[in-house]
Amino acid sequence: MANTMLEVKELSTKYITRFREDVYAVDRVSLAVKEGRSLGIAGESGCGKSTLALSLMGYYFPPLHYTSGEIIINGKNISGMKPDDVRKSILGREIAYIPQAAMNALNPTRKIIHFIEDVIMEHEVYATKKDIYERAKKLFETLGLPAEVLQKYPVELSGGMKQRTVIAISVLLLPKVLIADEPSSALDVTSQKMVIKMLRHLMEAGMISSMIFITHELPLLYNVVDDIMVMYAGQIVETGASREMVFDPIHPYSKGLMGSIIVPEQGLRDVKLTAIPGVPPNLKKPPAGCRFAERCRFVRPECLVTNVSLRQAGDGRAYRCILPEAELREAYAREEHKK
Amino acid sequence: MTTLTQPLLSARGVTKVFGFGRQKNTAVDNVDLDLYEGEVISIVGESGSGKTTISKILLGLLTETSGEIYFQGAKRDIRSHAKKQEYWKNIQAIFQDPFSSYNIFNKIDSVLLDCINMRGGRSLPREKKVEMMSEACSFVNLKFEELTNKYPFELSGGQMQRLMIARIFLLKPKILLADEPTSMIDACSRATILDELMHLRREIGMTIIFITHDIGLAYYVSDKVYIMEKGKFVESGSADSVILHPKEPYTRRLLNDVPKIYEEWDLTTV
Amino acid sequence: MKHIIQQVFHSGKFVFGFSIFATILLIVIFYPLFVPDPPLTILGQGTFFPPGIYVSVYDSLSATSYTLNLDEAAAKRIASKLSQEDRQAVKEWLIAAGIPEAEIDPANTEQLLDQWFANYDSKKNVPGMTNAKRNYYIRLNNALKGLLSPDAATVSQTNPQTGEMEQIDTINQTDYVNVSEVANLRLLPLGTDNFGRDILTELIAATRVSLQIGFVAGIIATLIGLTLGLLAGYVGGVVDDAIMFVTNLFTVIPTFVLLILISFSIGQEQRGAFTIAVVIGLTSWVWTARAVRSQVISLRNRDHVNLSKLSGHSIVHIILSDILPYIASYVIMALILQISSGILAEAGLSILGLGPRTTEVPTLGLMINWAMIYQAHILGNWWAYMPVLVTIALITFSMNLMNTGMDQVFNPALRD
């Protein structure tokens, strides 16, 4: 049985706005990523997927605040640690994070090699510049990046190249877990494919043990990760293996989400895209019952008041609905038949 | 769908050059396009391909450097403000970002009233105007009573974009230019927007030009697809022929690089 | 709109700046209602009377006198007469007379005098003492004895018939008058200036005039800058090029030099406060124009402007309703800075003697100018310039605070 690289238990975090209002962005999220596995987090904008990524590092700065729960990275519980200790001993070594606009975070006045020197010297005081250069060159070659990039300034690189460089820098210290938050959504499709290829390569070569990949683009997620977790309004609504999640979702929200996938493939024009009416709830005042209740077509009176918990559906599958799996599937089949 | 009648809107050799000297940048390069009544076409291109520039030229928001644009068979003349106003009764647009499409200082009512005024309804009684606005809102499943006296930024992105469609419903233009209307919208609301656009098209017999970077979306909605690269149309034709049987290497590469779910996505080709 | 104003007042910086500014404004408005004197009336004969209450000596004589026996009275009287140098001289003598230095406290008047009278001997020969110094000690001793004498002072008047001096009154050391019974007294909280004018009244009038100059200059500069910036930014093309050409010309010439040259060429006689304000306004619009232009350029291509065009609106309508509201907060912030820099520019000009002509109204700059010409800063007459400096600093400080406070509200990048 493979080791669990990252385990999160009942993690809750919130934002405090400048009007002193609480926004409950991540609500009692539990997840576990095993060695050699990758987990994808999907959901609409504002569902808390980016906040979850930030929270996973245990490195909180206002307006984000920790509320409760535990984060265990490679056996180390980091939820009680001081931010400075987290930065020194966890970030980069155990867990690395690539934010949404990572490629714009490079200081334009410095060469790529300088960023690499910074990262390594922060952790290995006695490293020489020559050694660092050799190491960086080797790493870049393994990842299919030309070594000349090291001597260039960020502005001399294209967007896709910059993004791949940032990823290379963030895996310098061979972290166990890599969290990538929309690493390719600002890129054109070709660069996006290169980034994806690189991430897959990192996993296959064992340079990182596990990966968490966050995106709203479902076809992309399907092609990158082993497991998919769908979030809605700060909670997990369904989780399971990629293929089952995309082609055989259980939760009505996942069903709708997967039904809205557009790919340029034969048969798409005959598909009727699913629409979910309404908007997600305001996370300043989350609803008492099921958070999806007011947009759900199977809603029942008790949905509005009962706090629904995740139900196991075998094989690592879990979904958050009061209806049993069989009943939901039956309803989907009826709808299919009506068409 | 293509008929032998004259095109509604056509472009001949349209070129747009920005800057001069060393900073010269040809955004649109000698482009030809024919749009027939009732068609839905898509212009697909990556960022920097010039698709937004050609859309602004077609809209009359930018002036072409050279080339001609014909509207209903006659050369388009939009040199005076009055002629522009006349042209804009026939062609309207929905933009990509609903959050920046509205003047945040104007209420929703004024957005819709502008449209009624433009269609010559300035002197209508107040009740009639409210009735028209309510009709437009209910067309896109919004309630005018809930929107009146509100500001656009109080709505969600999807609702704002639907209000844009309500605006088009009131204006009833011959051509609608939809510039990435769903790219800032969540997947679940995307279908709603597309459904409502298509419903509107059937309702008022509108011709639609989609501008998009999403080749899947183009395939889903349009009859005809134009693939644009570096200011030129590299391939065009019916959606099925272009997407399922691409001829040009650029189109093939584009299709190849988009993630698939039914077929295997080949990662070795980059 | 209401919401925006509420937000602005949530900013601590803005509220602090606003309360300072409002206080200054209220004082400027209400003070003249209570003290209606013309600000430039000359009260004092002589320059730079220090701050304090001025009581008429003549009226004190005719006021009812009361006898009060106060213990400390004599000591206080001597203490106020005995200067610091005298005390030091006494100390020197006492040390020469053999008193240990630790026992001498020059600040303790009573003890010092006791020691003095116990040890002073005019005949004693101190080695190394000059004759002049010896005479000084004799004079000092006599003066101290005189101060200690309990004699009354005599008030005499010439009899108009006989031409002789006649004693009409004596004033005992224990005589007091009640200040409220003295017919004439004048409070000069900040003293008088070189012309003998009440500085407080003058300062408040000057603040008002300076604020007016600042407002007129700021509004003129902002209006010109706004108009040119809007035109250049929105219309673009040749109009933009032409306007930017002029703006760049003005940017290259140092504004203050331009201001000096214009002020000088207008001439002393023609320079009123309003003229100076107009001149400042006409020379300081440059950066508002540039800033507004760049804001408008970034707005011009926004979709809501495109949509407004597609709705058939005219250029004027688009500028007024789709561009102007978006930059309004920015323009108000620029206006505040323009006002405060207008006040500073006037002060700068006036210090150089190129301010408004001097006979009608005071301005903050003119007050510094006068104090400088009469060397108040060298003579140590702080009241002639310090309050003016503090006022200028407070006005510009409060306006800058309001500006940064508003910036925090309007500029999302600075929000915390």
The 10s digit of each residue's pLDDT in A107-123 is 899 999 999 998 888 88
Q: Which of B188, B218, B260 sits opposite A265 (nearest CB)?
A: B260
Strand order across the beta sheet in which A4-16 lies: A22-34, A4-16, A64-73, A76-77
Chain B: give the shortest CA distance to residue A35, in Å: 23
Do the domain assignments include residue B3? no
A62: chain C residues, CB-CB within 8 Å: 416
Peptide bond into A63 cis (omega under 30): yes
Q: Look at residue B1 and tell me whether its pLDDT is greater than 50.
A: no
B94 inside 8 A of chain C by CB: no
What single-letter DSSP state applies at residue A305?
T
**Which element (helix H / strand E) includes A3?**
none
Task: Look up the ipTM and state it.
Answer: 0.89
SS3 B178: strand
pLDDT band at residue B237 using 50, 70 and 90 as cut-offs: very high
CB-CB under 8 Å, C304 with B103? yes
Do the domain assignments include residue B4? no
Q: For chains A and B, count residue pairs whose Cβ atoms are closer than 8 Å.
A: 107
* Token pair for A238: 């369904």
A109 inside 8 A of chain B by CB: no
- What are the C-alpha distances in Å from A77 to residues A7, A10, A81, C143? 9, 13, 8, 88
SS3 A70: strand
* Cβ atoms C210, C280 nearer than 8 A: no
Mean pLDDT, chain C, whole residue set: 87
A18: chain C residues, CB-CB within 8 Å: 415-416
Strand partners, B74: B71
C2 inside 8 A of chain A by CB: no
Mean pLDDT, chain B, whole residue set: 90
The 10s digit of each residue's pLDDT in B23-46 is 888 999 999 999 999 899 999 999
Q: Which burial class, exposed, middle or buried, applies to C168 when counting CB atoms under 10 A from its CB (0-12, 13-18, 19+)?
A: exposed
Amino acid of residue C390: V
Q: Which of residues 363-392 of C touch A (CB under 8 A)?
A: none
- Least trusted range by pLDDT, from A212-226, B54-68, B94-108, C156-170: C156-170
The 10s digit of each residue's pLDDT in A3-35 is 888 999 999 999 988 778 888 889 999 999 999
Amino acid of residue B21: G
CB-CB under 8 Å, B186 with A44? yes
B109 inside 8 A of chain C by CB: no
Q: How many CA atoms are closer than 13 Å to the CA of A295, on its beta-carbon side?
A: 22
Q: Look at residue A240 and tell me whether its pLDDT is greater than 90.
A: yes
Q: Which of C310, C314, C322 sits opposite B103 (nearest CB)?
A: C322
Q: Which domains does chain A have, with CATH numbers?
A: 4-105+174-338 (3.40.50.300)
Ramachandran sector of residue B172 (left: φ over 0; alpha: ψ -120 to 50; beta: rest)? left
Q: Look at residue B252 and tell me whether its pLDDT is greater than 80.
A: yes
pLDDT band at residue C416 using 50, 70 and 90 as cut-offs: very low
Angle at B109 between CA B104 and CA B112, to 5 degrees: 100
Q: What mean pLDDT comes out for the span C317-337?
A: 91
Instruction: Pick the residue from chain A with its C-alpha nearest to C7.
Output: A19
Q: Which of residues 21-50 of A touch B (CB under 8 A)?
A: 44-45
Amino acid of residue C235: V
- What are the C-alpha distances in Å from B120 to residues B125, B169, C312, C340? 12, 15, 12, 49
SS3 C291: helix
User: Would you tell me how many other CB atoms lie within 10 Å of the CB of residue C156?
Assistant: 12
Ramachandran sector of residue A10 (left: φ over 0; alpha: ψ -120 to 50; beta: rest)? left
Amino acid of residue A302: E
The 10s digit of each residue's pLDDT in C83-107 is 788 888 888 888 888 888 888 888 8
Per the structure, the count of domains in chain B is 1
| Chain position carrying tokens 């049993």 | A324
A222 inside 8 A of chain B by CB: yes
The 10s digit of each residue's pLDDT in B114-128 is 999 988 888 889 999
Looking at CATH, the fold of the domain delimited by C2-45+193-414 is given as MetI-like fold (1.10.3720)
C416 inside 8 A of chain A by CB: yes
Backbone dihedral angles phi then psi of residue C381, each to the nearest 5 degrees: -85, 75
C299: chain B residues, CB-CB within 8 Å: none
CB-CB under 8 Å, B253 with A190? yes
List CB contacts of A255: < 8 A, sequence separation 6 or more.
Answer: A249, A274, A332
Backbone dihedral angles phi then psi of residue B233, each to the nearest 5 degrees: -85, 115
pLDDT of residue B20: 81
Select the residue from B258, B260, B264, B268 to test the A interface by mutation, using most A Cβ atoms within 10 A. B258
How far is residue A248's CA from residue C5's CA, in Å, rounded to a whole number? Answer: 53
User: Would you tell me how many other CB atoms lie within 10 Å of the CB of residue C292?
Assistant: 27
For residues C326, C329, C334, C335, the Cα torsion angle rounded to the nearest 10 degrees is 120
| Chain position carrying tokens 């009061």 | A322
* Cβ atoms A53, A179 nearer than 8 A: yes
Do the domain assignments include residue B247? yes
* Token pair for B206: 């509108």
B81 inside 8 A of chain C by CB: yes
Mean pLDDT, chain A, whole residue set: 89
* Cβ atoms C383, C50 nearer than 8 A: yes
Amino acid of residue B36: Y
Domain that holds residue B171: 9-269
Amino acid of residue A30: S
**B21, B214, B160, B52: which is closest to C301 by C-alpha?**
B52
**A309, A301, A300, A307: which is closest to A286 by C-alpha?**
A307
The 10s digit of each residue's pLDDT in C27-76 is 999 999 988 888 888 888 888 999 999 999 888 888 888 998 888 787 78
pLDDT of residue C412: 60
Chain B: give the shortest CA distance to residue A30, in Å: 25
B141: chain A residues, CB-CB within 8 Å: 277
How far is residue C413's CA from residue C416's CA, in Å, rounded to a whole number? Answer: 8
Q: Where are any strands of DSSP class E within chain B?
A: 9-18, 25-35, 40-45, 66-71, 74-75, 91-94, 175-179, 207-212, 224-229, 232-238
How far is residue A323's CA from residue A268's CA, in Å, rounded to a whole number? Answer: 30
Chain C: give the shortest CA distance to residue B141, in Å: 22
How far is residue C293's CA from residue C394's CA, in Å, rounded to a whole number? Answer: 31
Ramachandran sector of residue A198 (left: φ over 0; alpha: ψ -120 to 50; beta: rest)? alpha
* Cβ atoms B216, A262 nearer than 8 A: yes
Q: For chains B and C, count residue pairs whose Cβ atoms are closer than 8 Å.
A: 47
Q: Chains that contact B by 3+ CB pairs under 8 Å? A: A, C
**B209, B208, B108, B198: which is closest to B160 by C-alpha?**
B108
**CATH label of the domain that carries residue B264:** 3.40.50.300
Instruction: Pick the residue from chain A with its C-alpha nearest to B270.
Output: A194
Q: Chains that contact A by 3+ CB pairs under 8 Å? A: B, C
Integer Rg of chain A from CA: 21
**B178, B206, B205: which is closest to B194 by C-alpha?**
B178
| Chain position carrying tokens 């002789």 | C164
C-alpha B84 chain-centroid distance? 18
C415 inside 8 A of chain A by CB: yes
Q: Which of A188, A193, A261 sits opposite B46 (nearest CB)?
A: A188
Do the domain assignments include residue B2? no
Instruction: Pick the residue from chain B with its C-alpha nearest to C325.
Output: B105
pLDDT of residue C170: 85
What single-letter DSSP state applies at residue C198?
B
pLDDT band at residue A1 using 50, 70 and 90 as cut-offs: low
Q: Look at residue A290 and tell me whether its pLDDT is greater than 80.
A: yes
* Cβ atoms A35, A2 nearer than 8 A: yes
Select the residue from B102, B103, B110 to test the C interface by mutation, using most C Cβ atoms within 10 A. B103
C357 vs B144, which has greater pLDDT?
B144
